[in-house]
């Protein structure tokens, strides 16, 4: 990953990056620890992706709640 970013002159901004692990309702949840140069990002339960609010179960509840008002 580091080589890919360096070759393409990209920078990873962990403060502005959401990581969501999609899981099923009956699976156990384990926390993701993803980092670079001793900085780690937090795992997001809810995130916005392509203008939609989704959670780690791919549920539409958050998106609907924001659209209703």
26-68 pLDDT, tens digit each? 777 677 677 767 777 777 778 887 887 888 877 777 767 777 7
pTM over 0.85: no
- Count of domains forming the chain: 1
Q: What is the DSSP letter of 26?
A: T
| 3-class secondary structure, 46 | strand
- Residue that wins the pLDDT comparison between 48 and 14: 48
**Distance between CA atoms of 54 and 46, rounded to whole angstroms?**
6
Q: Which domain holds residue 26?
A: 2-67
């Amino acid at each position: 990953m580091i080589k890919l970013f360096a070759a393409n002159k990209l920078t990873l901004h962990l403060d502005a990056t959401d990581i969501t692990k999609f899981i099923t309702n009956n699976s156990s949840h384990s926390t993701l620890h993803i980092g670079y140069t001793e900085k780690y990002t937090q795992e997001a339960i809810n995130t916005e992706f392509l203008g939609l609010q989704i959670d780690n179960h791919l549920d539409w509840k958050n998106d609907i709640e924001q659209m209703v008002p």
